[in-house]
A = this chain, B = another copy of it.
Amino acid sequence: MPRLVMKFGGTSVADLDRIRSAAEKVRREVERGYDVAVVVSARAGETDELAGRVRATSTLYDAREYDTVVAAGEQVASGLMALTLQEIGVPARSWQGWQIPIHTTGAHGAARILEIETQEMVRKFGEGLHAVVSGFQGIGPDGRISTLGRGGSDTSAVALAAALGAERCDIYTDVDGIYTADPRIERRARKLDKIAYEEMLELASLGARVLQTRAVELAMRYKVRLQVLSSFGDQPGTLVCDEEEIVEQNVVSGVAHVRDEAKITLLKVPDRPGVAAAIFGPLADHGVNVDMIVQNIGADGMTDMTFSCPTDEVARARAALEAAQGALRYRELVVDDEVAKISVVGIGMRSHSGVARTMFSALAAEGINIKVITTSEIKVSVLIDRKYMELAVQALHQTFGLADD
């Protein structure tokens, strides 16, 4: 029988009614003839509550004990889901990470899945027993419970789908798919039927909270077809798949934005080998997540270095750079924390030149000044004044013909 992995997040198992509603979706797929493995997160808020109790106990906590404590949330959810499935006539049992087992690295709290032994689960499929798997967890080489880091249940689902050779991995969430833009900003935004792994990866790293980046990477590597769809409706969602499967490719698939970016520029840094490392080393040490980086070479042996980071990391960035002033000897540190990042993403860009030019022209036509530009093979990102963010998203959505009809 074909196999299907269905993953339900914390809001989809928040209470018994929602678990019941998720279970009904599972039953429908079972009736379609699938052997189903359901992957569940802890109910919304549970992991935070448990993690809070760990932190209240110990500041520099032992990550192995942290994992033991927080993994309890998924354990409860898996048992309740299995019981609910049984109640509506779907034979099912729960599986904890250590029971399957899902072998992970020993990096407790941020483990990576190494191998999933599916033999026993497959044997139980043969007996008509569907599976409910605790997401987010596995067993480390030390024989102890490990967790994959926050949001790891998506990764659990994709890895299990790969190990089971599942026909598809359905990720049920509180949005009903991937849109050409944020519908709160562009009301003509359109749900995509399909999107390529590479595009989804760019969108995930651009702040689309729908899927974990690691889950998308894994899906791409093992060619797991991933569907994002809503727990609360019955519409099909968006299929994240190989680009070969997408017949009608747009040049641009979507416009993404990140509202709370800050632009930091070091003016007149003496340019010498190793200067970039001297700048970004201290930033990393201070836990600053640097996003875009642009360097302009001046003629006078000086360089200007610009980067962006989340606005709430500006204070740390400033502290790191001021402490390093003695070594860097920059002339001035300029912070602009009123910027936003706008990106256009599309695998079609690879074969169509001129996307960047079209984008820049559209922004210029609206009188929007571009402060920083970076590009990748399938993405162009710019920093602009935050006050123009909505306008920019709408203009680009229009320019690249992304709206309905």
Segment with Cβ contacts to B, from A86-94, A162-170, A186-194, A229-237: A86-94
User: What CA separation (Å) do A57 and B61 show in the bound complex?
Assistant: 35
Instruction: Determine the distance from Cα of A85 to Cα of B19 in the docked complex, in whole angstroms.
Output: 37
Residues of B within 8 A of A75 (CB): 68-69, 71-72, 75
Which of B58, B65, B78 contacts A68, CB < 8 Å?
Answer: B78
B58/A83 in contact, CB under 8 A? yes
| 9 tightest Cβ-Cβ pairs between the two chains A and B | A69-B79, A72-B72, A68-B79, A65-B79, A58-B83, A57-B83, A72-B75, A65-B83, A65-B82
Are the C-beta atoms of A86 and B68 separated by less than 8 Å? no
Beta-carbon nearest neighbor of A132 in chain B: B65
Complex-state Cα separation, A280 to B54, whole angstroms: 52
Closest to A56 in B: B16
A296 beta carbon closer than 8 Å to chain B: no
State whether A80 and B57 are in contact (beta carbons under 8 Å apart), knowing that A75-B69, A99-B143 are contacts in the complex. yes
Mark interface residues in A31-75 (1 if CB within 8 Å of B CB, else 0).
000000000000000000010011011100110111011011101
Chain B residues, Cβ within 8 Å of A71: 75
Closest to A53 in B: B80
Are the CB atoms of B58 and A84 closer together than 8 Å? Answer: yes
Question: What distance in Å separates the Cβ of A149 from its nearest Cβ neighbour in chain B?
Answer: 17
A66 CA / B93 CA spacing, docked (Å): 11
Chain B residues with CB under 8 Å of A227's CB are none
Closest approach, in angstroms, between the C-beta of A60 and any C-beta of chain B? 9
- Contacts of A27 on B, CB cut-off 8 Å? none
List chain A positions with a Cβ less than 8 A from chain B.
Answer: 16, 19, 50, 53-54, 56-58, 61-62, 64-66, 68-69, 71-73, 75-76, 78-80, 82-84, 86-87, 93-94, 96, 98-99, 143-145
Enumerate 7 A-B pairs (CB-CB under 8 Å) in ascending A order: A16-B56, A53-B80, A68-B78, A68-B94, A71-B75, A72-B73, A72-B75
Q: Which of B50, B80, B87 sits near A76, CB closer than 8 Å?
A: B50
CB distance from A185 to the nearest CB of B (A): 39
List residues of chain B with CB within 8 A of the CB of A68.
Answer: 75-76, 78-79, 82, 94, 96
CA distance in complex: A64, B82 (Å): 10
A21 to chain B: closest CB distance in Å? 13
Q: Are B79 and A66 in contact (CB under 8 A)?
A: yes
List the B side residues contacting A87 at CB < 8 Å: 57-58
Give the Cβ gap from A401 to chain B, nearest Cβ, in Å. 49
Select the residue from A50, A56, A58, A144 with max chain B CB neighbours within 10 A.
Answer: A58
CB distance A65 to B53 under 8 Å?
no
Name the distance in Å between A65's Cβ and chain B's nearest Cβ. 4
Residues on B with C-beta less than 8 A from A72 are 72-73, 75-76
Chain B residues with CB under 8 Å of A64's CB are: 93
- A68 — nearest CB in chain B belongs to which residue? B79
Kindly list chain B residues whose C-beta atoms are within 8 Å of the C-beta of A66: 79, 83
Are the CB atoms of B93 and A65 closer together than 8 Å?
A: yes
Contact B79 A54 (CB under 8 A): yes
In the assembled complex, the CB of A38 is this many whole angstroms from the nearest CB of chain B, namely: 13
Whether B54 contacts A82 by the Cβ 8 Å rule is no
- The distance in angstroms between the C-alpha atoms of A65 and B96, with both chains bound, is 11
